[in-house]
Amino acid sequence: MDIVIRNMRESDLDDVMEIEKDAFTTPWTREAFLMEITKNQLAKYIVAEIDETIVGYGGIWLIIDEGHITNIAVKSNYRGLGVGNALVEGLIFLCTKLDINGMTLEVRVSNTVAKNLYKKYGFVESGIRPKYYQDDNEDALIMWKKL
């Protein structure tokens, strides 16, 4: 199964919103994604496709020499097939190409699958943001990767 990673386009937003609503208890709005891909010059977003179907997406803010992963999500029936790996690799490749020195992200302390994915790519735990998630006040684990 070939996973194609490419830049997100405005025409992808219907598919992205389906994944967003399925993956997160407090999903971003369509308008938020539209602003990210059309107005935010610090933001880069990618999608993962299998057989021309969007099955995941990821985003990052590039601030000076750091990349801050904003979100990564995979369509529920495509999880466990390497899509998350391909998205993380795509974001790392983008940062490397742009001479970014490090990457960071926040992840729910309870999200073991995501934490293990990031650890696989060299992200290390570096702190906690208490009550970071507004929907349930769960803490966020801060992770960093040097490039």
Task: Report the catalytic residues.
Answer: 106, 118
Q: Is the Cα dihedral 109, 113, 63, 37 positive or negative? A: negative
Q: Tokens 């990210």 map to which residue?
A: 36
Please work out, in degrees rounded to the nearest 5, the angle formed at the alpha carbon of residue 123 by the alpha carbons of 120 and 127.
135
Neighbours of 139 (CB within 10 A): 15
Task: Name residue 70's amino acid.
Answer: T
